[in-house]
Amino acid sequence: MNSTLKRPRFLDLTKIRLPLPGIVSILHRISGVLMILAIPFLIWLLELAVSGQAAYEQAVAVTDSLLFKLAAAVILWSLCHHLVAGIRYLLLDIDIGIERKQARQSAVGVFVVSIALTILFLGVIW
């Protein structure tokens, strides 16, 4: 083993400063997981809405709750972020924006565009 290698004895994750493209990457994965976890609930809600008049009114009551609206906003953000970040990664795959400055700018763009789309769609829905 090479004794000149300076490896840390422990890894303190609180002291690591992740670059912005890394944060976008982690949020891309988290948004994908959130979308997958939302599928069973949304399927249940759809099944409830088409089951009959009483079940439809129950589904409407569920969608009118504040908790559902907050969850819907998070799911909508995850859809927007995953879409925009996915387009960024497709561009990176074809060697567009791979330099450090461009990668950071595109990461900022992902944040701005995904939040703007989320606000826009929330305004349309509510």
| Each residue's pLDDT tens digit, 77-91 | 999 999 999 999 999
31 closest CA partner among 106, 98, 70, 82 = 82
Query: Residue for token digits 């409407």?
Result: 60
Q: Does the pTM exceed 0.75?
A: yes
- What is the predicted pLDDT for the residue at 96? 92
Look at residue 51 in the predicted model and tell me its pLDDT: 92
User: Is the Cα torsion angle 77, 80, 83, 85 positive or negative in sign?
Assistant: negative
Q: Which CATH architecture has domain 19-125?
A: Up-down Bundle (1.20)
The rounded distance, in Å, linking the Cα atoms of 7 and 27 is 28
Structure tokens at 26: 């982690």
